[in-house]
Structure 1
Amino acid sequence: MAGFATIVGAAGFVGRRLKARLENAGWEVFAPPRGDAGLFRRDLGVVFYCAGLTADYDTRPFDTVEAHASLVSELIRRASFSRLVYTSSTRLYDGMRAATVSEAQPLVLDPTDPRRVYDLSKALGENLTIARTGGRGAVARLSNVYHWADEAPGFLSAWLIMAQANRELTLESSPHVARDYIHLDDVVTALIALAQGEPAGIVNVASGELVTNGEIARVFEEEGWHVAFKGEGRPLHPPNADVAKLRALGVAPEGVKDVVRRYLKGLKA
């Protein structure tokens, strides 16, 4: 069912794709630029809060806090909206030593670690969304989102983009690194599901499967690429995100190896 939506961060990786999907489905979309006071002068309908910093959060800590917590705090306090869907990250689980984690488990965050400004500010944004919106808030904890469009961020995205021009690939990583990957289109599907159903609280938007670089490299090899890694480190695997709540919303993300194989076959066609 179409409606009216506001996307905060519509110029970003997720926001751009979400805007296109909503408009194609008949939604009216308001995409205010950064600093637009119009956020507080009109009804915003369903707000998708996609603003944030990722790669440069450690060098821009105050901008990180502004994007992840300060602006959403002001929006909740002053703006008119029917639903707020806040994008967070499964990175918040990195301090936990468990094989699998669900949304209900308390987070473990170290406030003395300067690099935890990302996690702590996201956690504050989550708290405000869930506790201060009168039941109108939902949080999407995104795992590692990937795509092969130009400027798509992240390790796997860069890998896939490199494959468009080269069959011989050397990567600055280790085959033993494991991550949960989710395709951008599945993320957009999940965000819209969170906006249209009953408020679901915090939901892991992930595939539910940790996959190593080496496993993905084998898919490349089987399709005719050669992949070498410069590293051999064996870091601890992050916790696996439980995706039962996501599947209850009717969203079942496709496995990364299947998506990558189909993509590579398309490059060869």
Structure 2
Amino acid sequence: MSGRALVTGAGGFVGRHLVARLRADGWHVTGLTRADVDLADPVAGAAAVRAADPDVVFSLAAGRARATPAERAATVAVNTAPWLVDALPERCRAVVRLGSSTEYAAGPRPLDEDVPLRPRGFFGATKAAGSLLLQAAAAERGVRAAVLRAFQVYGPGDHPTRLVPVVLAAARTGATVPLPASVSRRDWVWVGDVVDACVRAALADDLPPGTVLNVGTGVQTGVEELVAAACRVTGRPIATAPGAHPGRDWDTADWVCDPRAARERLGWSPTVDLAEGLARTWAAEPR
């Protein structure tokens, strides 16, 4: 099954992979990037949605800037997009929102969809607010909405400042990787698996409206373990400097997904483990 798809955040890491997958599957895709429209402007955003006339919307646009009041206001506007549902045409049957695991409170056990929303950091707070607003607006409009809370997504084409690109670049150049002083573990999920979950959610007409599903592997890996895995994959030594990185708002010693609901409701399971994903990413990088 295919149709007309609108992808916001089409110029981002996951968005580029999703657009490629949809087009390969035969969808007519309208991709919106920052160069196309300012999604912090509700009038411009709504006009772009109406012009796309989509059967399905994939809401992937995400703002992160927060240094000034104006930047924070724009990030809230992009990450909540309260105008989105009202702009949808009658033909639209589903909105799939890519949320974030940072919407949750950290916990010592695998996180399922029932753990409290206690966002870690400003970004997590705006993503949580956007998820709640989408669910409420879609329910009033009668549009099926699904929120996929992705854990730590990685793969080819990620932003160069993120951990996997930094580690693999160090393998190539001999640079030293700065690491946080505290223990940091994450559930690393391959970008192609995240894209597959998005597509499955869009096509699952029997998925209850307002469904929230976690997208992760159920396996957490420490930063040092990831560096060691990258050494094995690349066959090159990677120097590290523990304590040289200030860490992130969402760093925690326990951050892992319980992916059972996605498996039960979408028939989705991760297909690429971390070692294979690092190998694929390394093979895709220019030498």
Same fold judged by TM-score > 0.5?
yes
- C-alpha change, 1:161 and 1:189, in structure 2 (3 Å) is farther
Structure 1 residue 251: Cα displacement: 2.3
Aligned residue number for residue 49 of structure 1: 59
Q: Write the mapping of 1:62-141 to structure 2, written as runs, cut at 5 A.
A: 62-69=73-80, 71=81, 73-80=82-89, 81-93=92-104, 95-109=105-119, 116-133=121-138, 134=142, 136-141=144-149
Cα distance in 2 for partners of 1:44, 1:139 equals 18
In the alignment, structure 1 residue 34 sits paired with structure 2 residue 71: no
**1:6 Cα deviation after fit:** 0.6
The one of 216, 237, 244 equivalent to 1:226 is 237
Partners of 1:205 and 1:84 lie apart in 2 by: 17
Aligned alpha-carbon RMSD (Å): 2.7
Distance 2:188 2:170 in 1: 18
Task: State how far apart, in whole Å, the 1-side matches of 2:261 and 2:66 are.
Answer: 29
Tell me if the contact between 1:41 and 1:79 (Cα under 8 Å) persists in the aligned partners.
no
Report if aligned partners of 1:96, 1:107 keep a CA contact under 8 Å in 2. no
Give the aligned partner of residue 259 of structure 2: 243
The CA deviation string for residues 9-47 of structure 1, in whole angstroms up to 9 with x for no partner, is 112111111111111111011224224423135632100
Provide closer, same or farther for how the CA distance between residues 265 and 20 of structure 1 changes in structure 2, counting only shifts above 3 A.
Answer: closer
Superposition TM-score, scaled by structure 2 size: 0.79
1:257 to 275, 278, 282: 275
Deviations 1:174-214 (A, max 9, x none): 48421111121111111101111133511111122110122
Does the CA contact (< 8 Å) of 1:146 and 1:152 recur in 2?
Answer: no
Quote the Cα distance in structure 2 between the aligned partners of 1:116 and 1:265.
Answer: 34
Compared CA separation, residues 116 and 150, structure 1 to 2 (3 A): closer
**Larger deviation: 187-196 or 210-219?**
210-219
Show CA shifts across 1:68-119 (max 9, x none). 11x2x101123222100011100122x333322211222124xxxxx83322
Q: CA deviation at 1:150?
A: 6.7
Distance in 2 separating the partners of 1:204 and 1:141: 5
Three-state SS of the structure 1 residue aligned to 2:58 is strand
Matched residue type, 1:125: G
Which of 133, 155, 159 aligns to 2:163? It is 155
8 A contact 1:49–1:87 mirrored in 2: yes
**Structure 2 residues not aligned, in runs of 5+:** 39-43
The range that moved more, 35-44 or 239-248, is: 35-44
| Aligned mates of 2:150, 2:2 — CA distance in 1 | 24
- The verdict on how the C-alpha distance between 1:265 and 1:45 changes in structure 2, with shifts beyond 3 A counting, is closer
State whether residues 86 and 138 of structure 1, in contact with CA within 8 Å, keep that contact through their aligned partners in structure 2. yes
Q: Secondary structure at the match of 2:11?
A: coil
Q: Is the CA contact 2:166–2:177 (under 8 Å) kept in the aligned structure 1?
A: no
Sequence identity, in percent? 27
